[in-house]
Amino acid sequence: MPKPWRFLPYDSGRVKDLCAQLKISPLLAQVLSARGFEEERPALAFLNSKLNELHDPELLPGVPLAADLIVAAMQAKRRITIYGDYDVDGVTATSLLWHCLKLAGATVDYYIPSRLEEGYGINSDAIRKLHAEDPQRLLVSVDCGICSVVEAALAKEIGLELIITDHHQFGDELPDALVLVHPRLPNTSYPFGDLCGAGVAFKLAWAICQRLGDGKKASPRMREFLISAVGLAAVGTVADVVPLLGENRILVRYGLTSLPEKASLGLKALMKIAGFEGKSELQAEDIAFGIAPRINAAGRLGQARLAVELLTTDVPERARTLAEYIDEQNKVRQTVERKVFKQAKELVEANPEWLNGAAMVLAHAEWHPGVIGIVASRVTEHFQKPAVMIAINQSEGIGQGSGRTFGSFDLHAGLTACREHLIGFGGHRAAAGMKIAAENIDLFRAAFCAHVTNNHAVLESDLEQRIDGEVRLSDLTLQAIVEMDRLGPFGRDNVRPVFACQGVELAEPPKKMGEGERHLSLMVRQGSRKIRGVSFGHGDWADEINAAVAGGGTISICFAPNINRYQGRENVEMHLIDWKADKP
C-alpha cells in the first residue's frame, strides 16, 4: 500500500541563521530545523555529543549496591555467574560483563538458556541446577529477570543470591532479589530510561571499574577495557532497536569508532565475514544488517552460547571457526524466515476475514520459534497493524509467540489485557514474547483484536512517509552527504535523513538483483547529475517503473542518501524508499 508523503515543516529564517552560526550547509541546517533543533546551542550539542555526557553510573537505580555486592563476591573468591538472554542484546550484555569481571580476576562464567527448550528469561529449573552445582555462587542476570517473580522467590528460598539487571517492562509485582538494576524502577528518576540490556550492563561494569580503582576513576587498565566495551554496548543497542537518542546515541556513536580497532577477536572475525574488514569506522546500519543478524541467528536457532563464546574467546582459530559457523546459521535463518513469511501471507489469503481485524494473530505448526519475531516485524509492516506470530509445538499443545507493534499501540499492555488466555508473556511496548495453550489461540485472537480496536486508532502519521525536504539531485554532493553523517548514528527515532526529488528520469532501465531477484537497482538522472539507487525487497518495482516512464515520463522519488565507500573511492548513492509516477 503506497504511503502518503509528508514534508516536515521548517523555518527558512532559522535555516539561514543555523548555516551562519554553525558554519554548516543549508541541507544539514534544513534537516536540523525540521527535526526541532532550531536554536544554536541545542543543535550544536546534538551534533557534537561527547562521551563524557553519559550519566554517572551511580545514578542508575540499583547500580551502587549491585556493584558493591559484586566486588565483595570477587574479593571473597565466590563464583559469579552471569545469566543472559539469547538475543543480541543479551549476548553482548553477557559478554561485556564477563570481560569486565574476568579482567578484574574474578571467577566468572555464564548461563544462556536455550530459546527452543527453556524460552525467555530466568527459569526455575536453571535456578535449581545452578544452586546444586555451587550454592555459594552469586547469580547476576542481564537483559532479563524483571518479571521473574516466581523464580526470584525460588532463588531466595533455596539460598541462591540473585542480582537482576534488566530494561524490559515490569509487571504489577517486582521480583524479590538482592537488588534490582533498572533505569525505570518505580519511584526513581534516572535521566534516561531507554537504555537496553547491554547499556545497563555497561553502566554496571563502569561502576565496578570505579570501585576497583580509586572509587571515582577506574585504573588505566580497566579504563581501556571500558573504552572497548562501548563497542559491545553499541552492538546491543543498535540490535535491540531502542531509540538512538540521548545516552544510546552517544554509546553507539563512540562504539562505532572503537569497534574496528578495539573489538574482541571473535567480533573482528565476524566483522571480516560480514565484509567490514578494513573499514576505519562502521555505520549503525552495518551493525543492524551485517553483524546483529549473524549473532541473532545463533540464538534463534538454539545456539546462543556459541555466540557468547565467539565474543569472549581469546583463541584466534576458535574465533574464526565460530564466526564461520554462525555465518552459516544466519544463511539457514534467512531461508527459514522467507518460508515462514510466505506461509504467513498464505494463511491470511486463506482467511480473508482476518484482514478486517485490528491486528494479525497467525499460528502454524511448522514455524520455527526462533524466527517468528523477525517475521512478525515483516507481517506488521506488510499489513500495517500489530502482529503476533505463534509457533505451535503439537506434541506439547503449546504455542510460543512473538509480537511486534504498529504505530503507537502498546503491545505489552495489549498482552496484559489478554493475559487470561496466556500461559505467560513479557517484553515492552514495541515487542514482546508469549506462551499460549494451542487450544486458546482463537480465543486470544478475538480478545486481542478487540483490545486493539478499542485502544488503538491508526493515525495518518502512522502510515505516512516523513520527508526532511525536497532537493534536486545536484544538491546531493559528496561533501553535503558526508556532513549529514554528523546527525548519526541513525536508527529508531533518529532515522537517516529522507529527501524527495521530482522530475527524475531513468538513466538506464531498472534491474532486479539478488537471490530470487528480490531487490532493485536503478540509475536515475536529473539534468547532468546521475546517481545509483537500490531498494531491498522491491524487485517488483522494476517492471512498474519501466511502465511508468514508457514514452518519456518521469518519476518522483523518496530516498535516503548515503556514501558508498569501496576500495578507497567514495560515491553518493541512495536507498530508494518510495516512488510515484509524475503527472504529464
- The pLDDT, as a whole number, for residue 115 is 76
Task: Please compute the mean of the pLDDT values over residues 170-183 and round it to a whole number.
Answer: 95
pLDDT beyond 70 at 1: no
- The pLDDT, as a whole number, for residue 219 is 87
* Mean of all residue pLDDT scores within the chain: 93
Domain limits, the chain: 53-121+179-326, 351-461, 464-581
pLDDT digits (tens, 9 = 90+) for 328-358: 999 998 899 999 999 999 999 999 999 999 9
pLDDT digits (tens, 9 = 90+) for 521-552: 999 999 999 999 999 989 999 999 999 998 88
pLDDT digits (tens, 9 = 90+) for 425-470: 888 888 889 999 999 999 999 999 999 999 998 887 788 999 999 9
Q: How far apart are CA 559 and CA 481, in angstroms?
A: 13
Higher pLDDT pick, 53 / 537: 53
Query: Do 561 and 573 form a contact (C-beta atoms < 8 A)?
Result: yes
Considering only CA atoms, which of 359, 458, 453 is closest in space to residue 408?
458
Q: What are phi and psi of 558, to 5 degrees?
A: -120, 130
Indicate left, alpha or beta for 295 from its phi (over 0: left) and psi (-120 to 50: alpha): alpha
- The pLDDT, as a whole number, for residue 201 is 98
pLDDT band of 583, cuts 50, 70, 90? confident
- The pLDDT, as a whole number, for residue 214 is 81
- The pLDDT, as a whole number, for residue 429 is 86
Task: Please compute the mean of the pLDDT values over residues 415-428 and round it to a whole number.
Answer: 92
Fold of 464-581: OB fold (Dihydrolipoamide Acetyltransferase, E2P) (2.40.50)
pLDDT digits (tens, 9 = 90+) for 471-497: 999 999 999 999 999 999 999 999 999
Q: How far apart are CA 369 and CA 117, in angstroms?
A: 10
- What are the cell numbers at 268? 573482528
- The pLDDT, as a whole number, for residue 236 is 97
Q: CA 296 → CA 219, 235, 471, 477, distances in Å?
A: 33, 11, 38, 36
Is the domain covering 351-461 a CATH 3.10.310.30 domain? yes
pLDDT beyond 80 at 568: no
Instruction: Tell me: cis bond preceding 497? Omega within 30 of 0 counts.
Output: no
Fold of 53-121+179-326: inorganic pyrophosphatase (n-terminal core) (3.90.1640)
Considering only CA atoms, which of 245, 246, 236 is closest in space to residue 267?
236
- The pLDDT, as a whole number, for residue 2 is 67
Q: How far apart are CA 142 and CA 202, in angstroms?
A: 10
Considering only CA atoms, which of 303, 383, 375, 295 is closest in space to residue 339?
375
Handedness of CA 298, 304, 308, 309 (dihedral sign): negative
